[in-house]
Amino acid sequence: MKPTFKAQAVQVQVPATSANLGPGFDSLGLALAMHDRYIAQVLDDQIIDIDVSGEGADVLPKNEKNLVIKSMYKGFEFLGGKPRGIALRALNVIPHTRGLGSSASAIVGGLSLARALVLGGSDLMGNDDMLNLANELEGHPDNVAAAIYGGATVAWQEIQHGHNVALSVQLEVDPRISAIAFIPSTSVATSKARKMLPELISHSDAVKNSAHTALLVHALQHRPDLLHTATEDFLHQTYRAEAMPASFKLLMKLRNAGVAAFISGAGPTVLALHTGGSDEVEELTRAAGEGFTVSALGIAGNGATLIQG
């Protein structure tokens, strides 16, 4: 049955996300207190009216190829059918192609808008449904899980009844933990970063990486003092170093100083987790030197949120 669309505009905000967190490749995600906002309204005319401000304003497509629109269409199809037209306004603050989940934000934002614009949409599309739709669009569930649920998430895929299913659990992050993002002016495409990974790694590296991933799940929730050890990776970061030499140099500088730092997602942003105050933020900012924009961020306890009014 074709859905009934709401006449009024709806607005959602979606957090930035960091994936991997060091050893948790394609599985661990963390929501950060930096949000993109999207406002959409169903139109009677068969048009797509898009306005983008902030990040990507001059380069993002203003048609059906826009990732938010594509995600809205996928959501509408799941809910029973598309409207004739859509007006979309996007206020983007998450840097693009920097490893902070801008595409996950667009995907989850689009699906959230579609759900909110359909009468009874939240009953027809639960968060588990949204996760699977987002995973189909993104290709892996780590960032989108964190963008949907907030906090830290463990996401994975498995075959159920012959179909690939994305699943996730949310972790409540120790409130003492904050993040600092060191964002370079250069970018690295995720597709390029993935091509740099080897087909095989040594058994000893796999063992160490598994141990650190398991430890990281515990450290995020209860033991921030273990974050430095737990965020050490043996699976992907060193293989990508030549694509982001400045980021990798900063990463090693921070880790050698005892800071729980890692490449955020596919990079080139470096993210550090810490429990210090403003003095530590200032010290780490000085350590970055030139070439990086430094942003102190809290952990976002909530994922995509409908903004009322």
Which residue, 98, 274, 171, 121, is CA-closest to 133? 121
Both 46 and 162 in one domain: the answer is yes
- At 107-152, the pLDDT tens digits run 999 999 999 999 999 999 999 999 999 999 999 999 999 999 999 9
Query: CB of 146 within 8 A of CB of 30?
Result: yes
- For position 240, which CATH number holds? 3.30.70.890
Question: Does residue 50 register a pLDDT over 70?
Answer: yes
Q: Specify if 2 maps to a domain.
A: no
Q: What pTM was computed for the model?
A: 0.95
Both 199 and 123 in one domain: the answer is no
Both 219 and 151 in one domain: the answer is no
Both 188 and 161 in one domain: the answer is no
Structural domain containing residue 101: 10-171+300-307
**CB neighbour list of residue 254: distance below 8 Å, 6 or more residues apart:** 261, 270, 272, 284, 287
Question: Which pLDDT score, from 0 to 100, does residue 309 have?
Answer: 60
Q: Which residue carries 């990508």 as its tokens?
A: 240
Both 29 and 164 in one domain: the answer is yes
Kind plus residue range of the DSSP H or E element containing 262: strand 260-263
Question: Does residue 190 register a pLDDT over 80?
Answer: no
Q: Specify if 5 maps to a domain.
A: no
**Structural domains counted in the chain:** 2
Percentage, residues of the chain above pLDDT 70: 100
Both 140 and 183 in one domain: the answer is no
Question: Which pLDDT score, from 0 to 100, does residue 287 have?
Answer: 87
Q: Is the peptide bond before 23 cis (omega within 30 degrees of 0)?
A: no
Both 161 and 20 in one domain: the answer is yes
Q: Specify if 4 maps to a domain.
A: no
Question: Which pLDDT score, from 0 to 100, does residue 192 have?
Answer: 75
- For position 57, which CATH number holds? 3.30.230.10
- At 278-295, the pLDDT tens digits run 888 899 999 888 899 999
